[in-house]
């Protein structure tokens, strides 16, 4: 099949070469639990059906969805050679405004192409964005793992937030409506993109808490810390502050209607 290049909670990733075209591909073999998740599989099948339309320079689209003889589900995607956005933020502590705005525009374009097809990412975070170089050497951001995001219905857990020792995974980039288990539309991805933008620009997230539960409660009830308070040394333009704040509004209808609209407000 090729050699293993990564392993996460939901999949094991191999790199291989397409025997017909000769191009490098990534094969993600999904965990058995994800393979049994009917909602996730329905989304993956839909994404695979729309693969041709999802072929976008800022999206790692599904090229093939299949199943092994022993029942393991796998997806074949373009192999992306680059650096994960989370690693860039970790090494540089923050990303300068100009390249950050360029990457956000790329991510927004990729999200929008999926949103137009009725596909919501649901799990946008810096670990799901790859920074790749094109033939001319310029960097572009590519959004990965659209169909692999499990739909987390959080409403029961939120009711139990007062209980001790409850672990809810990693909800740092989830919108308030996603935490509450409400129906989702593209604006949930715009909220997550606002959080990604904040972390890129400041190296920090705008909601504080000692535990995951406290951070989630802050997202449900509090307001995000403004960029200038997170990093007073960086002197962000007022328009950038305002764009990030609007993307992080608790009410979906108060956010930008589309991801490119948010990117344009940042770039302005």
**15: Cα separation from own chain's centroid:** 22
CB 79 within 8 A of CB 21: no
Q: Give the total residue count for the chain.
A: 268
Q: Which of 123, 145, 189, 249 is catalytic?
A: 123
CA distances from 133 to 56, 60, 74, 86, 145 (A): 15, 14, 27, 17, 19
CA distances from 235 to 97, 176, 203 (A): 11, 28, 14
Q: Tokens 């729309």 correspond to what residue?
A: 50
Indicate if 81 belongs to the active site: no
- In 3D, which of 246, 252, 249, 253 has the Cα closest to residue 268? 246
CA distance 93 to 204: 9
187: three-class secondary structure by DSSP = helix
Residues noted as catalytic: 123
């Amino acid at each position: 099949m090729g050699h293993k290049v990564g392993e996460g909670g939901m999949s094991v990733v191999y790199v291989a070469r397409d025997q017909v075209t000769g191009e490098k591909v990534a094969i993600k073999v999904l965990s058995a639990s994800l393979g049994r998740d009917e909602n996730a599989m329905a989304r993956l099948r839909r994404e695979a059906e729309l693969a041709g339309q999802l072929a976008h320079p800022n999206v790692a689209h599904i090229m093939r969805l299949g199943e092994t003889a022993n029942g393991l589900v796998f997806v074949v995607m373009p192999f992306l050679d680059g650096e994960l956005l989370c690693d860039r933020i970790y090494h540089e502590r923050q990303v300068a405004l100009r390249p950050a705005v360029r990457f956000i525009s790329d991510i927004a374009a990729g999200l929008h192409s999926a949103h137009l097809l009725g596909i919501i990412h649901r799990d946008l975070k810096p670990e799901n964005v790859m920074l790749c170089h094109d033939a001319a050497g310029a960097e572009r951001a590519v959004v990965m793992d659209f169909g692999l995001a499990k739909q987390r219905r959080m409403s029961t857990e939120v009711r139990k937030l007062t209980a001790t020792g409850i672990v809810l995974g990693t909800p740092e980039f989830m919108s308030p409506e996603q935490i509450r288990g409400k129906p989702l539309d593209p604006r949930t991805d715009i909220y997550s993109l606002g959080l990604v933008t904040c972390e890129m620009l400041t190296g920090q997230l705008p909601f504080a808490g000692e535990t995951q539960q406290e951070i989630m409660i802050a997202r449900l009830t509090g307001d995000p810390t403004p960029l200038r308070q997170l990093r007073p040394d960086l002197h962000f333009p007022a328009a950038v502050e305002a764009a990030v704040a609007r993307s992080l509004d608790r009410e979906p209808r108060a956010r930008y209607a589309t991801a490119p609209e948010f990117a344009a407000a940042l770039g302005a």
